Amino acid sequence: MPYTLIHHTGCGSSKKGLALLQENGIEPEVRKYMNKSEMLSEDELRDIAKKMGKVSPRAFMREKDAVKLGLADSASDDEVFAAMANEPRLIQRPIGINGSKAVLGRPNEQLLDIV
């Protein structure tokens, strides 16, 4: 299974994560999740959380955008997954996925932890 990078072309950290992978000989399948045609579904987001170690979706949610979009601190995980699927700005990036493992690339070097 190829390495997949959940990537936002307008994000400096995401661009640096992609460059880091490429510098290390990894040419990932790039998923531009901000594009309407490549948005992540609730099921895909749940799978990412599972591959990260069964974490809450809040582990890879952009807090500042949650506040801007009015997502309540008391929102359940189900509500957070639904909000992320509907509004991809809520998803922190980059996220690396390799087989049964996924990692948030913050810092970017963590993307190499699942190679």
- Residues annotated as catalytic are 11
Distances (CA, A) of 16 to 31, 73, 105: 15, 30, 10
Do 39 and 81 form a contact (C-beta atoms < 8 A)?
no
Alpha-carbon distance of 7 to 1, in angstroms, equals 18
Alpha-carbon distance of 15 to 26, in angstroms, equals 14
Alpha-carbon distance of 96 to 4, in angstroms, equals 6
